[in-house]
Structure 1
């Protein structure tokens, strides 16, 4: 049995890059390893156990072993990475305690993601003896960065050198639970709401409203896993009108209801 504090790391099996696919070769597949899909352009619909949704540019979908992955697309460029989680003694761990998330994931440090997938594409031009070690390094870097974002207390931190957008992010985080007024934020910093939204999306490739929603949902997930609060209490803590509003919003975003999520991930 793997101890909770035992070190685990991803070990690359393969990486393929598919450009401008009109559709998937298979409508579904089941893997005997972990499979990571990264959308470079286009989008695809997916179903993974109780989770389902639409993955767009910049999204990643992580499929665990032995779970059928259903998918469909009308046009897509994507990376597919197969890997195992290994313990310190190089034993394959099919259910890593250090990374309990599956389904759709998004790296908030978008520049890091864009750089990583560009390097994955370009790695095929390297000398054959360094391609695999280099791709292994890129996979580890990608998943470690994702883990830091998932577990760090500053989850969903957006990265920018623009002081104006730094202020916008700060104000959204301050008010996410109580309802963000983009009009008020825009007025306070001296630009229009349209300009604020355009600049935000241009820098982060996500709308300010979506970012605020993600912040609220991240708090919901933390409370589901780390507390015994009821759904009604969590809805009050996170600014939802009631538990039904919370459940509907949660399932729409993650493809799974809050109770099932708590049962799956709570220790």
Structure 2
């Protein structure tokens, strides 16, 4: 697939538009380089916006390659890394500092840091960090891969409607936890929806007072308890038969009621939690596969490797190499 690079000039936009960029602190050398690489700038009111940036962003279609959620991460395994795809760190708690092409800044709750492909991404946790790590490709209206974006000098984006943002990521996290055939297309749709939100807020101010609600599931206190037990014990030798017995149910009743409440079966949920934990250990530690297998509730590294490869579409070693943090 062909690649396309955007270069851009600047102009001042009047009216009520809001462009969600928070520029990082770029070095003098980097600012000079950016100014020479981009087209001519204008400063009529001191409020600069990339020419046609919002319109260009609106036309792009991100294609999800990988998604992982980190909770309360104390430290990055690597102070700097580069990835083959566009990467986004979407912060849901804590704070971290970043350095991309000499542009430095910090990101906190509801802020998105976007790093171009094959670009060094420096980062340091300053407060225990919870965030979504997304890797994706951008496809332009002409079907070509987009490797650079106009208006991305600071590499950090603000989202106005944070409630909608968190709702989107909640659905995205649920989608990647599912093994159903619809999960991947749904996750792709959610990422595209997030990007449309970012671009839309760049074209005009988001209406105030939005109250986006999540999906409504039936209330079932017993299944709430089952969910908590699975969440806490998924990476142990958990027997769903014994869990059903603890709850006074048959395995069939447990599966039916659990799926009605959470949208996935108990066994699917256990598998997803184990795979998520395996992903965290593969990318966040240097533990051996045998150690990771034991930590995820599996007897051998060979069995984990077989399950992981079938579920994730790549071996544990390939995953570690591609997505280490």
**TM-score when scaled to structure 1?**
0.53
**Contact 1:38 / 1:59 at 8 angstroms: preserved in 2?**
yes
Out of 143, 147, 154, the residue aligned to residue 94 of structure 1 is 147
Indicate whether 1:159 and 2:212 are aligned. no
Name the SS of the counterpart of 1:129 in structure 2.
Answer: coil
* SS of 2:84 mapped into structure 1: coil
Alignment-derived partner of residue 118 in structure 1: 170
1:28-43 pair list within 5 angstroms: 28-43=80-95
Change in CA separation of 1:65 and 1:2 when aligned onto 2, cut-off 3 Å? closer
Residue 135 in 1 paired to residue 187 in 2? Answer: yes
Alpha-carbon distance in 1 for matches of 2:132, 2:210: 29
| Offset, 1:54 | 1.4
1:148-227 matches, cutoff 5 A: 148-152=200-204, 154=205, 157=206, 159-160=208-209
- How far is the alpha carbon of 1:48 from its aligned partner? 1.2
**TM-fit CA distance, 1:44:** 0.6
Match for 2:72 among 6, 20, 25? Answer: 20
Structure 2: how far apart are the matches of 1:125 and 1:20? 19
Shift of 1:90: 3.0
Contact 2:93 2:131 in 1 (8 A): yes
User: 1:149-172 deviations in whole A, cap 9, x for unaligned?
Assistant: 1132x3xx462169xxxxxxxxxx
Most deviating of 8-17 and 124-133: 124-133
Name the structure where helix makes up a greater proportion of residues.
Answer: 1
Q: Is the 8 A contact 1:37 1:61 kept in 2?
A: yes
Larger Rg computed on CA atoms: 2
- Does the Cα contact within 8 Å between 1:63 and 1:102 map onto a contact in 2? no
| Offset of residue 101 of structure 1 | 6.1
Match of 1:61 among 97, 113, 116: 113
User: Unpaired segments of 5 or more residues in structure 2?
Assistant: 7-51, 212-325
> 1:74-114 deviations in whole A, cap 9, x for unaligned?
411110111111134532121245x7565111110111111
- Give ranges in structure 1 of 5+ residues lacking alignment: 163-267
Residues in 1 aligned to 2:165 and 2:159: alpha-carbon distance in whole angstroms: 7
Structure 1 runs of 4+ with >2 Å offset: 1-8, 87-91, 99-102, 124-128
Root-mean-square deviation over aligned CA pairs: 2.6
C-alpha separation in 2, matches of 1:142 and 1:161: 16
**TM-score, normalised on structure 2?**
0.44
Q: Deviations over 1:184-219 (max 9, x none)?
A: xxxxxxxxxxxxxxxxxxxxxxxxxxxxxxxxxxxx
- Larger relative contact order, structure 1 or 2 (CA cutoff 8 Å, min sep 6): 2
Q: Distance in 2 between matches of 1:11 and 1:19?
A: 24
